[in-house]
Amino acid sequence: MPRETGVRALSERWSRDQLAARVARDIPEGAYVNLGIGLPTLVASHLPREREIFLHSENGLLCMGPPPAPGAADPDLVNAGKQPVTLLTGGAFFDHAESFAMVRGGHLDICVLGAFQVSVHGDLANWHSGEQDAIPAVGGAMDLALGAARVFVMMEHCTRDGQSKLVRECTAPLTASRCVHRIYTDLAVIDVTPTGLCVVELADGVKPDELIALSGVPLEMRHG
């Protein structure tokens, strides 16, 4: 049975792979991109093969490819989330210091991060402390959120108990303030603008009034 969250069933929303494919559509040719741990790693499998995109991992990789075929994983070739990856022709390995120099030096065009909360101002909270199943520390997300030219957030619209992850003010520990440019959820694509959150696309089957009811924050509608 599909899990109900607020107004509509999950079956009428973007699946995780559909969401990853939607994010991949917005990554342009020639971009240097970091994919955060968790949900954002799915984006690598949906990038068009004909589009040259340079995937960076903060543990010291550049030019990562899609996940390896079953049985073909190299245990020494992993991303920052310790998932097996492939390396494209021309790929490079380097140490943590060089990797974070790339991040902090403004050499990444886009980072895609997961989130627990995003505020109407673009504040990002994507780590917790003191919870058993939570990410135990901020890790490299703080550097990525401030170092990348554009920050995309990829997340489910609501928590398991139906609470919106879009909030007026973050209550979880902040990763960085006013850093998020675009939010991708299983319900919509939403831009963070100087005047607030602006919906630019809705998932199939989701109506504007339903999205507003689920979100609990002001939303401007510019989709379609």
**In this predicted model, what pLDDT tens digit does every residue of 170-196 receive, in sequence order?**
999 999 999 999 999 999 999 999 999
Q: Which CATH architecture has domain 4-66+75-221?
A: 3-Layer(aba) Sandwich (3.40)
Segments making up each domain of the chain, as ranges: 4-66+75-221
Q: Where residue 127 falls among pLDDT bands split at 50, 70, 90?
A: confident
Per-residue pLDDT tens over the stretch 131-177: 555 555 667 899 999 999 999 999 999 999 999 999 999 999 999 99
Helix (H, G, I), strand (E, B) or coil at 200: strand
Radius of gyration of the chain (CA): 17
pLDDT at position 129 over 70: no
Please name the residues in contact with 130: beta carbons below 8 A apart, sequence gap of 6 or more. Answer: none
Phi-psi region of 190 (alpha: psi -120 to 50; beta: other; left: phi over 0): beta
Contact 117, 158 (CB under 8 A): no
How far apart are alpha carbons 8 and 32 in whole angstroms? 36
pLDDT at position 215 over 50: yes
Decide the pairing of beta strands 87-93 and 61-64. Answer: antiparallel
Q: Across all residues in the chain, what is the average pLDDT?
A: 90
| Residues involved in catalysis | 58
Strands (E), 58-109: 61-64, 87-93
If residue 24 lies in a helix (H) or strand (E), which one and from where to where? Answer: helix 16-25
What number of CA atoms fall less than 13 Å from residue 143's CA on the CB side?
19
pLDDT at position 109 over 70: yes
The pLDDT value recorded for residue 222 is 85
How far apart are alpha carbons 81 and 112 in whole angstroms? 14
- In single-letter form, the type of residue at position 138 comes to V
User: pTM score, two decimals?
Assistant: 0.90
CA angle 15, 16, 18 (to 5 degrees): 65
Contact 166, 217 (CB under 8 A): yes
Instruction: Specify which residues 25 forms β-bridges with.
Output: none
The larger pLDDT score, comparing residue 5 to residue 43, is at 43
How far apart are alpha carbons 27 and 45 in whole angstroms? 13
